[in-house]
């Protein structure tokens, strides 16, 4: 029996990258999933590939009515909602602080933070009466450390996701609903490729497109893969994490710990002397 056997999930931004990998992993684990995305063709194809356990609904997370409809679609199609994965995202508006247009700020926050708030809001309305549920949102290590090179508004939005997660976890815990988020590091996805300035066609290719660029970004010398994050989301969504809530799970290959460690020549000399003394 899979970790999510018999459970129903809504995954936003499921047409590609982390969302796509999570949808596949959830189905493997026994779940039925609603693929909620604005990219209709790849989302429809994914639903077709996954078969009966999957259903697609066009969903713009910046539109409250559409997110509410995605939750309602899960209940109407599969009978309930057990897991909400607020994953939809993009790199958002970029530039120096004096150059960032206000409408770009508003649009970025609408997707990255407001969309998460709306997903939690409408999932909670369904989960509260059933006294159970797991909400997992995709944050980022950019929301933890200002040492991560990412756009200002993206950083702030992801920090907001982390804090919103903790705040709502306190409210919903007594109702049997767990609220967590996952903080990916440098993950080889189409969104990451586009943020590096790669053409959309190249960005849609396999992980190998951007993987070589990310191998030295963290102590574990490989790029993060969407499947790495999918496994973390699966665990947070499953009963194996039944005592975990209000948590921001970092999955970054050690990037937030530091990029390189080497002993200084003095430290190396002292270590050698100590070893000789002990010998």
Q: At what angle do helices 152-172 and 102-109 cross, to 10 degrees?
A: 40
Contacts of residue 61, defined as CB under 8 A and 6 or more positions apart, other chains included, come to 12, 13, 36, 67, 86, 88, 111, 114, 115, 116, 118, 119
Q: Which of 7, 16, 55, 154 does the annotation list as catalytic?
A: 154
Under 8 Å between Cβ of 83 and 7: yes
End-to-end Cα separation, the chain, in angstroms: 54
Q: Which of 140, 200, 238, 277 does the annotation list as catalytic?
A: 140
Q: Hey, what are 204's tokens?
A: 């849609």
Please confirm, yes or no, whether 158 is among the known catalytic residues.
yes
Q: Which of 16, 55, 137, 158 does the annotation list as catalytic?
A: 158
Please confirm, yes or no, whether 105 is among the known catalytic residues.
no
Task: List, as one string, the DSSP characters of 95-158.
Answer: S-GGG--HHHHHHHHIIIIIHHHHHHHHHHHHHHHHT-EEEEEE--GGGT-TTS---HHHHHHH
148-to-58, 64, 155, 162, 198 alpha-carbon distances in Å = 32, 31, 9, 16, 20
Please confirm, yes or no, whether 117 is among the known catalytic residues.
no
Query: How many angstroms separate the CA atoms of 62 and 279, rounded?
Result: 66
Query: How many angstroms separate the CA atoms of 206 and 189, rounded?
Result: 8
As annotated, the active-site residues are 140, 154, 158
């Amino acid at each position: 029996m899979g970790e999510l056997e018999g459970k129903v999930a809504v995954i936003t931004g499921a047409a590609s990258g982390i969302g796509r990998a999570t949808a596949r992993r959830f189905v493997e684990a026994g779940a039925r999933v609603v693929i909620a995305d604005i990219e209709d063709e790849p989302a429809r194809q994914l639903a077709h590939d996954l078969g009966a356990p999957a259903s697609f609904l066009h969903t713009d997370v910046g539109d409250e009515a559409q997110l509410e409809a995605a939750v309602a679609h899960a209940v109407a199609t599969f009978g309930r909602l057990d897991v909400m994965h607020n994953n939809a995202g993009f790199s958002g508006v970029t530039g120096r602080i004096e150059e960032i247009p206000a409408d770009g700020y508003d649009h970025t926050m609408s997707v990255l933070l407001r969309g998460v708030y709306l997903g939690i809001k409408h999932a909670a309305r369904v989960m509260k009466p059933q006294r159970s549920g797991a909400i997992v949102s995709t944050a980022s290590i950019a929301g933890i450390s200002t040492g991560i090179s990412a756009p200002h508004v993206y950083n702030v939005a992801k920090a907001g996701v982390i804090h919103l997660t903790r705040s709502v976890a306190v409210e919903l815990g007594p109702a049997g609903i767990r609220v967590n988020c996952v903080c990916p590091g440098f993950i080889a996805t189409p969104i990451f490729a586009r943020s590096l300035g790669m053409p959309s066609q190249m960005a849609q290719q396999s992980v190998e497109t951007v993987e070589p660029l990310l191998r030295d970004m963290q102590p574990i010398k490989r790029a993060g893969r969407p499947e790495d994050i999918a496994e973390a989301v699966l665990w947070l969504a499953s009963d194996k994490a039944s005592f975990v809530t209000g948590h921001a799970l970092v999955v970054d290959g050690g990037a937030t710990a530091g990029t390189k460690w080497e002993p200084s020549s003095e430290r190396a000399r002292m270590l050698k002397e100590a070893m000789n003394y002990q010998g």
